[in-house]
Amino acid sequence: MLTVGSLFSGAGLCDLGLTWAGFKHSWFCEIDPFCRAVLARHWPDTPIYNDVSLIKGADLPSVDVLCGGFPCQDVSGAGCRAGIKTGTRSGLWYDYARLIGEIKPKYAVIENVMGLLSLGIEAVLQDLAAVGYDAEWEVLPAAALGAPHHRERVFIVAYPDGGDDDRERRLLSPLAGILGKSYEPVRMADWLGIRFDRTDRASAPTAYGGRVIYRVDDGRAEGMDVPVRAVALPARVGRVSKDQMLSCLPALKALSNGIVPHQSYTIGACILQAEGLPVQPMP
């Protein structure tokens, strides 16, 4: 079983997908108090470090995999587009790169928004090369896994430079087989029997007028809330009181900053296959 150290863990959505696949977490690092509480409930016996800029590789338990999505505010199309620079939120990437060099994991899984491809991926790849790592990347939309929204995310998988010994095939090449028909290059996606056009960002809410955001924290690392226990948002914001909205904000922030766990599951499955290890079936 491969062990994981998680950076910028958030509410553990990326980590949930890796847990599904068969990884075991050794530690987390997350600064947000609400997210730390969620992690502590799902993984009660796993240490949680606070500030990525203060931890040192020599002080951390050894792990096979580092994973995490560093802050996207400065590379996102919806942000200020300042890029990866010291002193910016997205500049925390430099601490991720530092820890890769200090820990020397077998793999590093780096997740971020599509904007990274036009503003920052060169810096990421250069920093990975500087600490001796090669990298592959893919854009994996949540819609390709049946979610009713696009949520396209870039996943970079880095591994130690093999020198002249090139891999027989790309580590991420099994993705299409793992995803099956949902990853075929077709226009339409299927979710709960509802078909919507993945090329049209307005098509999902047009096709489905229901409520799709639910609580994640049910106390189990193996799964998300079942509908019976889920607390849905009212269909119209006008029905929400100020106190209700304020109580929802930490959870909504955690969800909006996260990914669909199925996305990280597929990346984890590729790594396990490359290692010749069994992959647990997706729930």
Active-site positions?
72
Residue 68 makes CB contacts below 8 A (sequence gap 6+) with 6, 7, 8, 9, 14, 29, 96, 109, 110, 111
What is the gyration radius of the CA atoms in the chain, in angstroms?
A: 19
> Which residue from 81, 84, 88, 148 is spatially nearest to 110, judged by alpha carbons?
84
**For position 261, what pLDDT does the model report?**
92
Question: What domains appear along the chain, each with residue ranges and CATH number?
Answer: 3-161+169-187+253-274 (3.40.50.150)
How far apart CA 152 and CA 139 sit, in angstroms, is: 6
How far is residue 176's CA from residue 172's CA, in Å, rounded to a whole number? 9
* pLDDT score recorded for residue 220: 42
pLDDT for res 254: 80
pLDDT at residue 213, rounded to an integer:
43
Position 150 scores a pLDDT of: 73
Cβ contacts of 211 within 8 Å, gap of 6 or more: 232, 233, 234, 235
**Predicted pLDDT at 246:** 66
Residue 87's alpha-carbon distances to 20, 82, 195, 253, in angstroms, are 35, 10, 43, 22
How far apart, in whole angstroms, are the C-alpha atoms of residue 241 and residue 244? 5
Tens-binned pLDDT, residue by residue, of the chain (283 aa): 999 999 999 999 999 999 999 999 999 999 999 999 999 999 999 999 999 999 999 999 999 999 999 888 777 766 667 778 888 888 889 999 999 999 999 999 999 888 888 888 888 999 999 999 999 999 888 877 777 677 888 999 999 987 555 556 789 988 878 776 555 444 445 554 556 565 676 766 676 665 544 333 333 444 443 333 334 445 544 555 666 666 677 777 787 778 889 999 999 999 999 999 999 998 8
